[in-house]
Amino acid sequence: MKQTIQSINANISGFFSVLFSSAAKKAATHNKLSRHIVALNKKTSSKEIINEVAVCLKDILDYRLFAFVVKKESGVDVWLDPRMYKKSLEDIILEDFNIKRENLNYLNQTFEPDDREEKFTMRNLVSYELNEEHCYSRLYMLPQKSITPFHDEVVTLILQGCATALSKQIQMENLRDAAVVDPLTGCYNRREFENQINRHIATASRHGHPLSLFMFDLDYFKRINDTHGHLGGDLVLKKIALLVKDNMREGDVLARYGGEEFIAILPETDKNKAMELADRLRAKIAALRIPHNKNIIHITASFGISQLTPNADMNKIIQDADTMLYKAKLNGRNTVMPGLIKICSPKQEEKKIKIKR
C-alpha cells in the first residue's frame, strides 16, 4: 500500500512537472515572440522586416528551411535560408505565383553554378498565406519536426505582427521606387544618380576619401534587339543589371544612365580597386549565358573608370569615365579602360631576361 501511494505521488509529481514545464516554455516563447514583434515595427525596409520574421521563427521553431516570398509588379522577391533548397523551392514558387524563373529576385542570396543543392518534396513543406493591402506574400517552412497547434499559433501571430508593418513599408517603397528607380532593371534612374553622386562627392571631399565611378555599355546591343527582339533585349538588360548589383557592395550605387548604358558610384574606392571590380564584372558578363526562346544570348560589355580629383565636380568625373569608356570601345570592346597593369615579380622578370639571352 505504501509503495502504491508513493507510485501515485510520483506520477502526480511527474504530471505537474510536465504541465508546469510546458506552461513555462510557452510563456518563454510568447515573451520571445513579443520582443520580435516589437522589433518588427522598428524596421525601415521590407527586407529588414522579413529578416526579423526569419530570426524569430529560427529562434522559436528551429526550421530547416525558411522562405518568404512577396509578390511585386515585376515578379516576386524571395528571402531564402538556407540556399541549398533553391531548386526545389523555385519549382513550387513558380507554380504558386504563376511566374517565370527570370522574374525571381533573391533578397539575401547570390548563387554559383556549383552550389550544393538538396531536394525535398511538397509533403514536407508547410506554407502560410498573407494577403494584405499592397502586400500578397507566402511563407514556406520546412520544420525540424511536425507542426503542433501551438507552433501554428506562433507562426500565425508573427505573421499578423509583420502584416501591417510589411504592407506599409512596401507601399512606401513602391511610391519611392516609382520616382527614383528604372522600372525595367530595378536600378536607380539617371535623375536619382545625379542626386546621389553630388552627395557622395560632397562627402568624399569633406573627409578626404577616394571616390570612383565606372560606366559600362553593352557591346553591339542593337544586334541583340535585331536578332532576339525587344523582349530579348529587355531580358538581357535585366539579367546584366542583376548580375552587377549582386557583385557590388552594400553602399555602392548602380544606375541605368540611358539605353544600354549603366553607371556606378563606388564610395571609398580608388581607381585601382575600381578597375579590379570592373574587370571581374566584365568577365562575369562575358561568361553569362541567357536563355531566351530556345536560344542562348551572349553579350559583352566595355567599361570606363574615373576617380574624383581635387576640385572636380559631377560633370568632370562623369566625363572622365565616359572618355575611358570610349577608349575601351576603340580598343576592341569587352575591355576596361584604363586597363589593369600586371607587374612581373623580380624572379619572373629574371626568367624573361634569361629566355631572351
> Could you give the residue numbers annotated as active site?
260
Q: What are the contacts of 180-186 at 24+ separation with CB within 8 A?
A: 182/255, 182/256, 183/74, 184/234, 184/237, 184/238, 184/256, 185/237, 185/238, 185/241, 185/256, 186/74, 186/105, 186/238, 186/241, 186/242, 186/245
3-state secondary structure of 298: coil
Cell of 111: 548563387
Cell of 272: 585601382
Q: Which of 212, 299, 314 is nearest to 253 (CA)?
A: 212
Cell of 166: 510589411
Would you say 296 and 329 are in contact if contact means Cβ atoms under 8 Å apart? Answer: no
Would you say 220 and 329 are in contact if contact means Cβ atoms under 8 Å apart? Answer: no
Phi, psi of 132, rounded to the nearest 5 degrees: -115, 165
Handedness of CA 257, 262, 265, 269 (dihedral sign): negative
Identity of the amino acid at 51: N
Going by the DSSP 8-state scheme, the letter that residue 278 receives in this structure is: H
Q: Which of 253, 245, 247, 244 is nearest to 203 (CA)?
A: 253
